[in-house]
Structure 1
Amino acid sequence: MAEIRLEQIEKRWGGFSAVQRQSLHVADHEFLVLLGPSGCGKTTTMRMVAGLEEPTSGDIYIGGRNVTYELPKDRDVAMVFQNYGLYPHMTVGENIAYPLKVRGIAGSEREKRVGAAAAKVELGSLLHRRPRELSGGQRQRVALARALVRTPAAFLMDEPLSNLDAKLRVTMRAELKHLQHELGITTIYVTHDQIEAMTLAHRVAVMDGGVIQQIATPAEIYDRPANLFVAGFIGSPPMNLIPVRCTDGKLVAEGVRVPAAIQSATDDLVLGVRPEDVRLADAASSNVQGRVFTCELTGDSVLVTVQVGASRVIAKADRSFRIADGEPVGLHFDASRLHLFDAKTKRRLD
């Protein structure tokens, strides 16, 4: 097992900077998720750790050893890819054993390790099958077992669940989390799926434009987003963001007049509130007023989108709630759960 440190790492191609100068510390045994939209630099960062991309500048340490210019095979990391990367002509057992065969591990020892790795991902009865005979989830487990069999210092996982259907992703998330907890192997996991990040990670590093916007526990990122990007990216549905100005101690916009809990030196502000912190109320007695734009039944709740001036605000209501589109409605924001951002700097105000 090993900690991973990136010190002032940067990756450029000509005039394009894929990853700006960034430092990152992944503790021994930690499960860290790099989260962000396509093109944000998360996969490039992981590929530099793996040795598949050479950094333009900066240093990479694994287990205290500078591996910046070492070959991938010498870094003692195991990768799991989005497309599984299984050999179709080999059986499950042969696929799992391949890294050991390359390293010249004796046949009896190989067989022992393959059996142990397969058992960890519940593939012991499928070792004789070929990849084409397996489901998507079983193929992903073969890829995991092939990574496990080497007992590496660290796992690097590049969107390993994105090819699976929604139901199977939920199952595999639980298996991955349990497996990492059981083995305690330092893991860097890349995804654009915030649900994966929030459910799997010890810490999440949210990236955008080649820059880490915030790194913290999932709970802290959800409860105290550092800036407007993180606020709008995390959450399903995302945080409601309403441009406001501060007037006479109140945050004001068309249809909005909310007491300001924070005094700001600027009037160019954005008010944030999550859908679960918005309660539907009578329009006449509410300090936020609008008309119902649409209602969506999600099963356990109803998402009510309300047109408030130029903004649309989503409230999460009880699943039995019913109201017609176009009806006037009031909204009550939980004052203890409001977020305020500077519209110019995009940063959170406390």
Structure 2
Amino acid sequence: MSENGPYNQPPQNPYGGGDGTGGQPPYGPPQGNPYGDAATGGQPGYGQGPYPGAPGPDQGMYAGGQPPYGPGPGGPVGPVGPGGYPPAQPPQGGGGSKAGTWVVIGGFGIIIVLVIAVVVMLVTNGNDGGEIASGPDESSEVVEEEPAEEEPAEEETPASNGTLGDPPHALPTEPCEAFTDQVQTDFVLRDSGSKYVSDNTSSCSNLGDLPDSSPTEGFGSLEVGFKLPYSASDSPEAASEDIEYTLERVRGGAESDRYDADDVEVDEELEIGSEAYLVITKTDLLGDKLPEASLLLRQDNLIISVTYYLDTTSGDHEDLALPDNTQDIMVNAANEALAIVGG
């Protein structure tokens, strides 16, 4: 065993002497004066700061170490953050949050006011738009007046070409429209005639002068009638049955009290409408035989009759005679009557 103990350790004298170490401590710099000695000029040793546990020169704040406790280069402004700038200051109190809340509430209030203003503006504009829209309505009324002016022309069109609407046909409410200028000339009529209208019949009658074929004094009478069958107003079959009954009477049938079969001069079927017949005969009026022409026409469910007879005021009934063109003027009158059906 050596004099240094059982572990053969070097001498424990930290200040050296007699051990060949040159007086240096075995484990590092001297532990005496922390600020160095006269040999080092009062500077601390390398690798260790003046205080135990303090970082050395290589562990300053630029090497990731802790900043010094004293003021920074700029003066006593407190601790500095990374890069030498002061750290951000925390908000003081709750005033900022309350101010932000009031800003949001104010923004919502402004939005609500704007929405109300827009709604009011739209409602106002809607009213103005309705007033402005009245302009086109007025112009449309003007446009409607043009067809109204053309309607009479459309009603006159059937009178010239016999165009009819679809059955069943209704009674014309103005039967005297059948007395056109040509009809008035043909029958030497004196005025526009007088009309009669009921639920199932409508007619127009008129008086005129005697034709040149009758040298005596007197007058002529023309009547145009429209009739719907009583049994079924929209039935063509019922209208055809009514035609047959009237023809039998005019032809001087058994039930006739005004006509005689021996007086029939013309009994002819015509090609007008659905069916038509012309009978020229004499009618008994208070014991006097008067010349008469009857044309019966059926158009679907509607019956049209044209009756023309002559009378005298002088008592010379034998001198009364229908004109030679009786059939022509009767057919023309029937066509004019048929033309106003459905007008």
Question: Is TM more than 0.5 here?
Answer: no
TM range (shorter): under 0.3
- How does the TM-score come out when normalised to structure 1? 0.22
Higher helix share: 2
The structure number with the bigger radius of gyration is 2
- TM-score, with normalisation over the residues of structure 2? 0.22
Going by fraction, where is strand more abundant, 1 or 2? 1
Which of the pair has the greater relative contact order for Cα pairs under 8 Å at 6+ separation? 1
